[in-house]
A = this chain, B = another copy of it.
Amino acid sequence: MTFSKAILEGDRLALARLLTKVENDSQEGRDALMELFPHTGRAHLIGVTGAPGTGKSSLVNQLALHYRKTENKRIAIIAVDPSSPFTGGAVLGDRVRMRDLSGDSGVFIRSMASRGSLGGLAQATANITQVFDAAGFDIVIVETVGAGQSEVDIARLAHTTLVVEAPGLGDDIQAIKAGILEIADILVVNKADRPGVEQTEKALKTMLELAHPAERVFKHHGVTMSVSAPKRNEAAKMWIPPIQRTISTEGAGIPELADAIARHVAHLTSSGEWADRERTRLEVELEALIRQGLMNRFREEVAAGAYEKALESVIQRKMSPLEAAASLMNGRLK
């Protein structure tokens, strides 16, 4: 039986094995992805991002538990860790997360180590998301470490993006610098039992007000996107990111957070933005694949020694990187 068939039939072991193949970008993985693709487009993708120390992992844990208990939804969690190969960070993080969720067949957790190139990580995350989507998971939560542009880029491709903050993580300037506010559909102030929660919330509110007028809020998902700016002129279609307080260690505020997420889904559907975000996400993916394909083709076509020769000229400052790139692309270096 093919991978894709086994996965459509709910084979958990096949799913785990395919995820590895997809993450490694193997041919078998690529074939399965193509077969599975027509079955995608149903899952609700939730991105969760925030700086280290905000308690994202336990928040994701609690949210998943909530969905399991109240709505019996099937949940996949993808933890995108730029963790070191030697610290085993991903494994440790998983262990903590898994305690409450392990043994539940309606939950599947996958950690992704950051491997090499950035494009690779974003692409692998997109592919893994597609596999979960096709496998019938209702909600796919992508957790990223945040504060970094790449993680933000990964999270922003979700239907609903949660940005998690916590009191006492540094001064206001640092909070502003993190600069991930504009991608938030929902702001979560986690660890809300800590001193300084009012201050954090106030700072977030001020920044949200700065983000007005409304069209700026609307544009926040379109910043890096090149085509098809959607028409969102009607005030009725406005979405102002709510601020939700949670204490994820105790589960406080989680039902309210889930309600806010549900309201956002309703907003996305009624405003037509769900379709806009689907389009954007698939376009970003298509472009990444083309980029990768072009580079692979280039590597095959360029003569073996030409690349090394060009690099050597650059190192010796005989040729600028721009000149070397142009020469290689035009086949002038053999």
Contact = CB atoms under 8 A, between A and B. Distances in A.
B52 A82 contact: no
Interface in A25-41: 30, 33-34, 37-38, 40-41
Number of copies: 2
A152 interface: yes
Contacts of A210: 86-87
A271 interface: no
A182 interface: yes
Contacts of A216: 86
Interface stretch (A6-14, A64-72, A293-301): A293-301
B150 A87 contact: no
A38 B328 CA distance: 19
B207 A87 contact: yes
Interface size class of A (residues with CB under 8 A): 35 or more
Interface string A181-225: 110000000000000000000000001001100001000000110
Interface of A: 30, 33-34, 37-38, 40-41, 51-54, 57, 81-90, 92-93, 96, 114, 116-118, 121, 145-153, 169-171, 173-182, 207, 210-211, 216, 223-224, 227, 278-279, 282-283, 285-287, 289-291, 293-295, 297-298, 308, 310-311, 314-315, 317-318, 320-326, 328-329
Contacts of A171: 53
A301 to B, nearest CB: 11
A81 B286 contact: no
A89 B177 contact: yes
Nearest to A279: B315
The DSSP consensus for interface residues of chain A is helix
7 contacts: A51-B51, A84-B211, A92-B176, A145-B179, A146-B148, A169-B169, A286-B311
A149 B84 contact: no
B52 A147 contact: yes
B152 A89 contact: no
B282 A181 contact: no
A107 to B, nearest CB: 20
Given A85-B223, A116-B223, 6 more contacts: A86-B216, A89-B177, A92-B173, A93-B176, A227-B308, A294-B329
A7 to B, nearest CB: 15
Contacts of A148: 82, 145-152
Given A289-B322, A317-B40, A321-B282, A147 B89 contact: no
A303 to B, nearest CB: 14
Contacts of A314: 282, 286
B289 A173 contact: no
Contacts of A117: 224
A179 B84 contact: yes
A54 B149 CA distance: 18
